[in-house]
Amino acid sequence: MMSGRPTRAAGLLLNAGHAIDHMFLLIFASAVGPMAAEFGFARWEDLMPWGAGAFALFGIGSLPAGRLGDLWGRRRMMLIFFFGIGLAAIGVAFTRNAWQLAAALTLLGAFAAIYHPVGIPMLVRDAPRPGFVIGVNGLAGNLGVALSAVVTGFIVKYAGWRAAFAVPALLSFVCGAAFVWVSPPEAVAPARREVTRSMLPRRALAHVFTVITVASISGSLLFNFTTNGNGELLRERFRGIVEDPALLGALLAAVYVAGALAQVTVGALLDRVPVKLLYAAIVATQIPLFAVAAGAQGWSLFALMIAFMIAVFGAIPFTDALIVRYVDDTMRSRVSGMRLTVAFGVSSLAVWALGPVVKVAGFHALLLLMAATALVTLVVVMFLPRSEGVGLDGAGLPAETM
């Protein structure tokens, strides 16, 4: 019976699940140009808001997913994730108009919501180096972002946008079948296990949860603005330099791979460096990078994009790391679900607003808006409690001081 850490094979599939989660959510953004043309839209910006439902359900669905993960079992929920998101992607491939597309993408977002509050707590349970585990998991997730850019670009070029949804769905089915085989049933649901660690007093925990949630909102806004807009930003500012969609997809994938690799380094540092100090330092670098990128073109923009995506992806592990530090495994899925519901629900506005903002004010204004958002994140991070020690093992939990 599975009573402790997941097996090595199950851990690999949990990381693969993170890649699938982010890849599937961003196929639409990578293929929106040809999809808009087929559905009769003059500009990609006009179709973009129709995908907001996927990200809204990605957030809202995290709350029931986290609750079911703790009370019903995380393994069962991961099986629903693998098979459900694959079926939803096939549904997207069969849509014939924008309303059908919006409904199918919303369903896809509902299944995508399962992964973060369920898969990550399952992966880090009893991990001796949770920061590193979170960093590797973040690498896997953002390799999924990179795969979405490059794989979608090539499939769209040679087989059309519908195949770009249908082909990855088969991969998800294979991973789900493998997960049935390598992940034994849980002996006891997480919520019914014994509490294994002390936690902060309720008031202090509420303070930390509020800071984590607000920082997660602003960080998720940046993630959604960049990952959903970078493809069109490259296309616009590489006009006359590189225009082949497959090559642009490869360039964008290189950006995401560079950012994803940074997460492993950040994860390793999380086990050794005070969390608040490291978090603030990474967020602070985002502000000037976005500001300078607002006026950059061509290869200068490409270099800056690599830099700011390293900073954006590098900030991602912190909210999960803070939950590992302060919350016992018996309730991590529920706490994660509450945080993600608020953060991802609000940040779905970025997907809805992206097209209209770029259409009216251009990418220059959008990048300046992202610089301002990063500044908000930095201010919020400064309200985290001071940490007396380092790492995520829970030793020497911080006092209620700033």
* Cα 41 → chain centroid: 28
User: Quick check: 199 pLDDT over 70?
Assistant: no
In terms of residue numbers, what domain contains 313?
8-185+198-381
| % the chain with pLDDT above 70 | 93
Residue 392: predicted pLDDT: 53
Average pLDDT over residues 20-41: 91
Q: SS3 of 137, please?
A: helix
Distance CA 353, CA 110 (A): 20
Q: Is residue 16 part of a domain?
A: yes
User: Quick check: 27 pLDDT over 60?
Assistant: yes
Of 105 and 207, the structure prediction assigns the larger pLDDT to: 105
Average pLDDT over residues 166-180: 96
Distance CA 9, CA 183 (A): 8
pLDDT band (50, 70, 90) for residue 367: very high
User: Quick check: 402 pLDDT over 60?
Assistant: no
**DSSP tag of 186:** B
Q: SS3 of 111, please?
A: helix
Q: Is residue 220 part of a domain?
A: yes
Distance CA 284, CA 145 (A): 23
pLDDT band (50, 70, 90) for residue 29: confident
Could you report the per-residue pLDDT of 225-235, keeping only the tens digit for each?
888 888 888 88
Q: What is the largest CA-CA distance in the chain?
A: 62
Residue 223: predicted pLDDT: 85
Q: Is residue 191 part of a domain?
A: no
Distance CA 158, CA 155 (A): 5
Q: Is residue 402 part of a domain?
A: no
Average pLDDT over residues 357-380: 90
Query: How far is CA 73 from each of CA 15, 185, 188, 264, rounded to the nearest angstrom?
Result: 18, 9, 8, 28
Start-to-end CA span in the chain (Å): 43
Residue 125: predicted pLDDT: 83
CATH number of the domain within which 311 lies: 1.20.1250.20
Average pLDDT over residues 208-234: 85
Q: Is residue 391 part of a domain?
A: no
Is the full-model pTM beyond 0.75?
yes
Q: Is residue 190 part of a domain?
A: no
Could you report the per-residue pLDDT of 250-298, keeping only the tens digit for each?
888 888 888 888 888 888 888 888 888 899 999 999 999 999 999 998 8
User: Quick check: 387 pLDDT over 80?
Assistant: no
Question: Taking the CB of residue 113, how many other CB atoms lie within 10 A of it?
Answer: 31
Residue 396: predicted pLDDT: 43
pLDDT band (50, 70, 90) for residue 200: low
Contact 311, 278 (CB under 8 A): no
Query: Of 352, 346, 324, which is closest to residue 228 (Cα–Cα)?
Result: 352
Which range has the top average pLDDT, 32-46, 123-137, 285-299? 285-299
Q: SS3 of 328, please?
A: coil
Residue 397: predicted pLDDT: 47
Q: Is residue 400 part of a domain?
A: no
What is the Cβ-side half-sphere exposure of residue 147, based on CA atoms within 13 angstroms? 20
Which range has the top average pLDDT, 282-286, 326-330, 393-397? 282-286
Q: Number of structural domains, the chain?
A: 1
User: Quick check: 72 pLDDT over 50?
Assistant: yes
* Cβ-count burial 137-159 (b if 16+ within 10 Å, e if not): bbbbbbbbbbbbbbbbbebbeee
pLDDT band (50, 70, 90) for residue 335: confident
Q: Is residue 206 part of a domain?
A: yes
Rg (C-alpha) for the chain, rounded Å, is: 20
Backbone angles phi, psi at 2, to 5 degrees: -90, 100
Of 386 and 362, the structure prediction assigns the larger pLDDT to: 362
